[in-house]
Amino acid sequence: MAMFKKLLKQLNRDKVRRGDEYEIELSSKMSITVETIQNIVGESDDVIQREIKIGHKIPATLFYIESLCDRLTLEEYVLKPLLHLPAKDAPAVITDRFITSLQEEILTLAEIRVLDSIDNAILQFMSGKTLMVIDGLKRLIILNTIGYEDRAIEEPESEVVIRGPRDGLNENLKTNMMLLRRKIRDPNLTIQVGSLGRRGKRPFAICYMKGIANEQLVEEVRYRISCVDTDDVPATGSLEEYIQDDVLSPFPQLFHTERPDNCVRGLLNGNVIILLEGTPFALMAPVTFHQLLISSEDFYERWLLATLIRILRYAASFIALFLPALYIAMNSFHQGMIPTTLALSIAGSREGVPFPSFVEALIMEATFELLREAGIRLPRHVGQTIGVVGGLIIGEAAVRAGIVSPIMVIVVALTAISNFAIPGFTVAISFRMLRFALMVAAAIFGLYGVIIAYIAINIHLVGLRSMGSYYLSPFSPYSLQGIKDSIIRLPLNVLRRRKAEPRTLDDWREPRK
Amino acid sequence: MTPPNRFQKTDPFQIRGVEMAISLIAVILGTGILYLPRELASDLNTPDGWITIILNGLLVMLVVFLYVRLQKHFPGQNLLQIIENQSWGKWPGQVLRGLYIIYFILALAFILRITTVVLQIYLLLQTPTIITGSIILLTTAYAVSKGTQGVIHLNIMFAPISIAFFIIIFAFNFPDAHFQEILPILGEGIGPVFKGFKHTPLVFLGVEIIFFFMAWMKSREVRALPLNVSIGFITLFNVALTLLGYSIFGFQISKSITFPSIELAKELEIPGAFFERIESLVITLWMMSIFNTISTFHLLAVQNIREQFLPRGNTAWITSGVTFIIFMLAFIFPSISEAFLFGGVIMFLEVSLIILSLVCGYLARWTASMHNDRKT
């Protein structure tokens, strides 16, 4: 709520619309209040002004936004009771008692509020609620008549699982909160709503489990979000950039997910979830490097399979990061490492290639990145064709033309496949970027360059924090409990404690024996 | 736009007992490979050097045990602070700190020079050692910028990799070993074993870090056992390395190979494996271990200089200054054999510093207890 108050303060300080000269004034005379509201929002054509007489007697004006308001609700639960009110029930002079009876006896709407300030009311009006001005009342009445079209709950495309729930978050904050509430029916699940952006005023929600999440962490998240002061925050990706710890780092310091089950796992682990209106991606804070390589499916499969798949995933990350660099290093510096027969065949296949292996690798990697970017932009069906054309035909043609060697095509393809096997999209991107840095290091210093680059990445990672949590936990700082659920996943009945990061108020998942 | 991280204040960094033990392995393990078993073979003239290593390991365990007993009385203080906090301790403490600074910088220069030579022989034949050396130093300077927490965490990250390096060497060399080379055990009596002490303390170069890092530990986690398990582990690995070196190359040849342990890696043949000559890969793994040693020493040198000369104020330039001095010193030696001779000086400094520190430390404990008695 602190956030909300801060915004309102700004609203009061600045003029709501710059360049206009008008007074924000709440008067008991309806005409003055109506004029004020017209001054603020009257220029828009979708703002509808409807004048009625409550109980055939008291003049009142309703303002609503056509596109955001549910017309049926308005007609059935607001207009009908008000217009059909018997004249004897309507007093000549508006009293507080009448307003109370309006709320308690007359209107059948779920949410009605009586507000004292125009700023506050306008903020809610802009989200689709109906604003009622009654003659003789120096207050405003807000009626919740929000209703607009929404996307259905669909399976998230960026995080597909075979075995597991298929629901995904969508663009509506309320739906997302519902999805979380339906999975955790614990009164300790706390959802706090605020609004973000000077102009956008998007609602966002901070969700955490009271009694598990560290109060300091929640306070930190709240503080950082309240520091964001900009026109609009269009997506959680933008929010991430404002609130992350290290802007220069190539690694994501907050976790993106479209899956409510991932959010629930985070909540029960003591993380804080940030939901934002208008984006299906939730942010989870804090995150550690190893959590980025975890898929929710790991907990739905049996532990042996999950462990093997995790090891496979770590191997994939290794390949995605190092393979081209290792190829360059071995080809240009340490030919002795390659078995003789293979070395001969590599040399044979590279015979017609005019470039050093670094340039060759750079060409192929850049081509691949290009294909990938093009594949995302193109319509879905054409995109597949581009994949085939790019992957098979261009690769084959490039080999035939003598621009690259066939082994390079294998290296690039293997790297690409491994990159796709990483479940976290954001960490896959950091690997993509670092791969090029490693390739340059390998081209200059061979294996020595690769290892120095690897050490430098590690130095960066030990210094990195995500909302105050160590990024490399559970390996450093070392935690045996954490390692049980990192590269391996032991059976669930062994994982009796929560993860090492973030620190929680209650470390145990199961009652301590 | 990023708000300041307010967590650090409320969440102070602490080293756990296990982490300290792993850190010891990471720092000490990598250096042994530089002189074993060549120096031992030429010092002893009998293949009994491994007994010297075991004896030396026991002595180091004693040092650790004594220091831990001392540390228990002064939680949250490092050795030099313990001494300096005594009424008599200001000057001795500062002298000791000055000696430690000199020792760290010299040891760094020495290790750096030998590392670059190894790199030139086995990894990058044509790149000048000055370049490879300066890259390592720049990387460690970056690590130093992350402070104690960063360096300790790096040690924990890389320790499993350095252990893997040793296990690879042992596992794949074992079938080719001829263990009759190490016989007869104690063929010339117990006498030669003690000659080995001329070089074996270098194997445990880096044990001094506990004097500085244990101040970061919770007082209830200050225990000698995990640390001594690490020392035992290191001793065991170095003994195995020596024995393997003798039994693969033969005792006489071990004397003349510059880096026998790395030659062991060269002998590796993994049956059916993809890679043929694995030594460059093994050297890269060893690089991490030596990086741990260098970065930890670098950090301690920088921290001690800061504490000695500039307890307050902007001290960011100290790291670069220290880096430059180490770099100059490392490449002053005209040749590697002179660098190896220099190892003797470092070893002398190491041993005398450890003894001096323990004596001063226990003196401090004695005066502190006298003081407390008088108060009560």
Residue A284 binned pLDDT confidence (cut-offs 50, 70, 90): very high
**CATH assignment at residue B306:** 1.20.1740.10
**Residue A49 to residues A41, A132, A139: CA-CA distances in angstroms?**
11, 10, 18
Lowest-pLDDT choice from A129-138, A336-345, A438-447, B301-310: A336-345
Torsion sign over Cα A356, A357, A361, A362: negative
Residue B171 covered by a domain: yes
Residues of A in contact with B288 (CB under 8 A): 451, 455
Say yes or no to pLDDT of A12 above 80: no
Percent of chain A residues topping a pLDDT of 90: 35
CB distance A427 to A257 below 8 Å: no
For residue A485, the tally of other CB atoms under 10 A from its CB is 25
Residue for token pair 């309703």: A62
Please provide the average confidence, as pLDDT, over all residues in chain A.
Answer: 86
- Sheet containing strand A47-54, edge to edge, reads A47-54, A58-65, A130-134, A140-143, A112-115
Residue B373 covered by a domain: no
Q: Which residues pair with B342 in a beta bridge?
A: none
Closest CA to B17 of B192, B169, B156: B156
Residue B176 covered by a domain: yes
Question: What's the gap in Å between the CA of B19 and the closest CA on chain A?
Answer: 7
Q: What is the pLDDT of residue B1?
A: 38
Write the ipTM: 0.91
Closest CA to B286 of B305, B259, B311: B259
Residue B246 covered by a domain: yes
A196 vs A93, residue with greater confidence: A196
For residue B184, the tally of other CB atoms under 10 A from its CB is 10
Note every long-range contact of A339-347, with CB atoms under 8 Å and residues 24 or more positions apart, other chains counting. Answer: A339/B274, A339/B275, A339/B276, A340/B276, A342/B274, A346/A405, A346/A407
- Mean pLDDT within A357-372: 88
**What is the domain count for chain B?**
1
Model pLDDT for residues A297-334, shown as the tens digit of each residue: 899 989 999 999 999 999 999 999 999 999 999 888 88
Model pLDDT for residues A427-463, shown as the tens digit of each residue: 889 999 999 999 999 999 989 999 999 999 999 999 9
Q: What is the pLDDT of residue B5?
A: 45
CB contact under 8 A, A244 and B281: no
CB contact under 8 A, B135 and A470: no
Q: What is the pLDDT of residue A312?
A: 94
A191 touches chain B (CB under 8 A): no
- Mean pLDDT within B267-290: 75
Residue B370 binned pLDDT confidence (cut-offs 50, 70, 90): confident
A471 touches chain B (CB under 8 A): no
- Mean pLDDT within A382-405: 80
Q: Which residues of B touch A (CB under 8 A)?
A: 1-3, 5-8, 10-11, 16, 18-19, 22, 119, 123-124, 127, 132, 135-136, 139, 142-143, 145-146, 149-150, 152-154, 156-158, 274-278, 280-281, 283-284, 287-288, 291
- Mean pLDDT within B297-303: 93
Q: What is the pLDDT of residue A92?
A: 78
Residue A40: DSSP 8-state: H
Sequence letter at residue A144? N
CB-based burial of residue B3 (10 Å sphere; 0-12 exposed, 13-18 middle, 19+ buried)?
middle
- Cβ pairs A/B, distance under 8 A: 121
Residue B26 covered by a domain: yes
Q: Which domain holds residue B328?
A: 22-361
**Residue B44 to residues A186, B201, B298: CA-CA distances in angstroms?**
73, 15, 33
- Mean pLDDT within A175-194: 93
Residue A15 binned pLDDT confidence (cut-offs 50, 70, 90): very low
Residue B9 covered by a domain: no
Residue B372 covered by a domain: no
Q: What is the pLDDT of residue B274?
A: 60
- Mean pLDDT within A139-147: 88
Model pLDDT for residues B31-42, shown as the tens digit of each residue: 877 777 777 777
Q: What is the largest CA-CA distance in chain A?
A: 104
- Mean pLDDT within B221-237: 90
**Residue A455 to residues A473, B27, B43, B143: CA-CA distances in angstroms?**
17, 15, 36, 9
CB distance A191 to A264 below 8 Å: no
A245 touches chain B (CB under 8 A): yes
Q: What is the pLDDT of residue B375?
A: 67
CB distance B121 to B109 below 8 Å: no
- Mean pLDDT within A360-388: 82
- Mean pLDDT within B347-353: 89
Say yes or no to pLDDT of A110 above 50: yes
- Mean pLDDT within A152-172: 88
Q: In angstroms, rounded to a whole number, what is the distance separating the alpha carbons of residues B345 and B127?
A: 29
Q: What is the pLDDT of residue B273?
A: 59
Residue B370 covered by a domain: no
Residue B7 binned pLDDT confidence (cut-offs 50, 70, 90): very low
Residues of A in contact with B17 (CB under 8 A): none
